[in-house]
Structure 1
Amino acid sequence: MKFTGGWIVNLVIDFVIVTFLIYHLFLLVRGTRALQMFLGLMAIILLSLLADVFHLSMVQWLLASLRTVWVVAFLIIFQPELRRGLSMMGNSKLFKRVFKLQEASHLGEIEDAVQNLRKRGLGAIVVMERNSQLRGYIETGTLLESNLTAELIETVFTPPSPLHDGAIIVRGNQIVAAGCILPLSTSTTLDRSYGTRHRAILGISEETDALAIAVSEETRQISIAENGRLIRNVDPNELKGVLAQFLTPADDRAEKAEAEAERAEKNTTRLDRKEKAPRAPERKEKAERADSDDATIGSSSGDETPPRPASATSPS
């Protein structure tokens, strides 16, 4: 077998692609129940490679017979992870760069509704659609397609409303549906103290890029889930700002942070210049004072007669 340059390049490319796929698949299943299945799948793949290297014909025949079953089992077992991965891929910069920022007035309506529900001790789930289409979850609830207002949100989540147990889905300035059923997170790292609402908003954020808000009727705390991350006990007075920050595209946030850093650096430079500017005449004035003091000391010391040394006298 000749080890040509083209063969080596193909081997490197093949290795990089396989490593990339395995690594990202591991990231998707990490912390979920599918992790053990993933490790088992890796063991089977390793066994297949060993069978090819050592020409284990019986093992190769067995693995080849089960290959079709593996594909079907893989799709069934890793269905949530695959759906989440495809959703993340579809919402990456490579496929989609346009992002619509919700208007401040709509965020204000959501903030008012969430604060009022918290004060009244009523539970609620508000899901804000972004790039990922939530059609499958919208179909599980009641279609509303109404203007987004704080009063309507409060009405939906006030018992005995038939829709108060589900989630409302917001698209732009509309409440698209209410009473929607969300997927519950299967993360094994989630604290057992988290209730169904927390698992629901975390689950929808794991499978889509939606921003989900939950109000706990037990603790009256506000929680936000975004990109598989849960933030608890959000300050009600800062909710609008937090939502605006999350709804801002990552590129815009980076550019804004960079611009703020540049402005801060310029302001620091200006302050340093202002502080250094008056110091020059001060140093000159101090130097002149020092010179005059030296001259005064020198003239006064010149007029004085140095003391004569005492003569030694012999004792009588």
Structure 2
Amino acid sequence: MGSFPSIGIVDFLDILLVAILVYWVFLLLRGTRAVQILLGLFLVSGMYLLSRKIGMVTFQWVVGNFLGGIIVILVIIFQGEIRRGLAKIGQARLFGRTTLGEGSDFLEELARTAYRLSDARIGTIFLLERDTGLSEYLEHGKKIDAVFSYELLVALLSPASPVHDGAIVIREERIAAAGIILPIPAETSWTRSMGTRHRAAWGVAVETDAVAVVVSERTGNVTVFYDRKVQPVENMGELLETLRDRFRK
């Protein structure tokens, strides 16, 4: 009876790294159309293997040529996911998350402001910048660089304001820009039930590490988007706790 091959520390690390890579790819693709595309590719590959077994020469030739360029095809199809994945690797920090200011006073003011806007049924999107810069989004709005205050936000978000429809970027406790028109991502199983404002916030949370706080104009509900997660919050205290957790050192 043959003995089992010995597994050394290098083999263990090899298996562990592959497992982490597979898990990371799964998290990256979860909730996107890429999952359906991968399932389709697996199905085509299975049909190709079956065609080889039963001798379907024409089908085998067509699909074989298609699969021959699969690496290039995958790079083209998943270029968005690859870009986001590499960006997330670049965002990795050894010593914890980025903080928004040194204390929690600003986050408390932001949470209070969000619920004052909610009570007044004034809808908006706050984009809280973290490690990934949001400069590309600022180009689609009006740069302001002003002290954060409820009074200024009410003026910016009033129907008479030319920037009332767009998102607001918060950078280092200041209003960096307003009236930002965000791209609307393609509909997925995760976003099918969302409105336009929430889908736009989801898109930013997928593309960057920013935290998006959405105040619904219709219902007054407040929702937080971050790291491909959607978290409705019930009150100011819950919102504040969520924000503190995202910006904790």
User: What is the TM-score when the length of structure 1 is the normalising length?
Assistant: 0.62
What amino acid maps onto 2:143 in structure 1? L
Query: Could you tell me the percent identity over the aligned residues?
Result: 34
Counterpart check, 1:164 vs 2:164: yes
The unaligned stretches of length 5 or more in structure 1 are: 52-57, 250-316
Distance 1:76 1:135 in 2: 26
Q: Could you list the per-position Cα deviations for residues 253-276 of structure 1 after superposition, in whole angstroms to 9, with x for gaps in the alignment?
A: xxxxxxxxxxxxxxxxxxxxxxxx
Distance 2:15 2:97 in 1: 33
Asked if the contact 2:97/2:248 (under 8 Å) is kept, the reply is no
What amino acid maps onto 1:175 in structure 2? I
Deviation, 1:16, is: 6.4
- Report the secondary structure of 1:146's partner residue: strand
The unaligned stretches of length 5 or more in structure 2 are: 52-57
Asked if the contact 1:48/1:60 (under 8 Å) is kept, the reply is no
Q: Could you list the per-position Cα deviations for residues 43-68 of structure 1 after superposition, in whole angstroms to 9, with x for gaps in the alignment?
A: 567789999xxxxxx96997568655
Task: Name which structure has the greater RCO, CA cutoff 8 Å, separation 6+.
Answer: 2
What amino acid maps onto 2:26 in structure 1? F
Deviation, 1:248, is: 1.0
Counterpart check, 1:130 vs 2:130: yes
Residues 175 and 77 (structure 1), Cα distance of their counterparts in 2 relative to 1, 3 Å cut = same
- Report the secondary structure of 1:169's partner residue: strand
Residues 149 and 41 (structure 1), Cα distance of their counterparts in 2 relative to 1, 3 Å cut = same
Asked if the contact 2:100/2:173 (under 8 Å) is kept, the reply is no
What amino acid maps onto 2:98 in structure 1? F
Deviation, 1:217, is: 0.9
Count residues with an aligned counterpart.
238
Q: Equivalent residues in 2 for 1:1-316 (5 A)? A: 20-42=20-42, 63=64, 67=68, 70-93=70-93, 97=96, 99-102=98-101, 103-184=103-184, 186-190=187-191, 192=193, 194-249=194-249
Residues 11 and 245 (structure 1), Cα distance of their counterparts in 2 relative to 1, 3 Å cut = closer
What amino acid maps onto 1:89 in structure 2? I
Deviation, 1:32, is: 1.8
Larger Rg: 1
- Report the secondary structure of 1:144's partner residue: strand
Residues 98 and 33 (structure 1), Cα distance of their counterparts in 2 relative to 1, 3 Å cut = closer
Distance 2:136 2:156 in 1: 21
Distance 2:48 2:134 in 1: 40
Superposition CA RMSD, Å: 3.8
Asked if the contact 1:128/1:169 (under 8 Å) is kept, the reply is yes
Distance 1:26 1:241 in 2: 28
Q: Could you list the per-position Cα deviations for residues 214-247 of structure 1 after superposition, in whole angstroms to 9, with x for gaps in the alignment?
A: 1111111111112111112430354333322322
Distance 1:43 1:23 in 2: 21
- Report the secondary structure of 1:232's partner residue: strand
Q: Could you list the per-position Cα deviations for residues 279-303 of structure 1 after superposition, in whole angstroms to 9, with x for gaps in the alignment?
A: xxxxxxxxxxxxxxxxxxxxxxxxx
Distance 1:207 1:152 in 2: 28
Q: Going by fraction, where is helix more abundant, 1 or 2? A: 1
What amino acid maps onto 1:189 in structure 2? W
Distance 1:197 1:216 in 2: 8
Asked if the contact 1:29/1:38 (under 8 Å) is kept, the reply is no
Deviation, 1:29, is: 1.9
Distance 1:79 1:153 in 2: 37
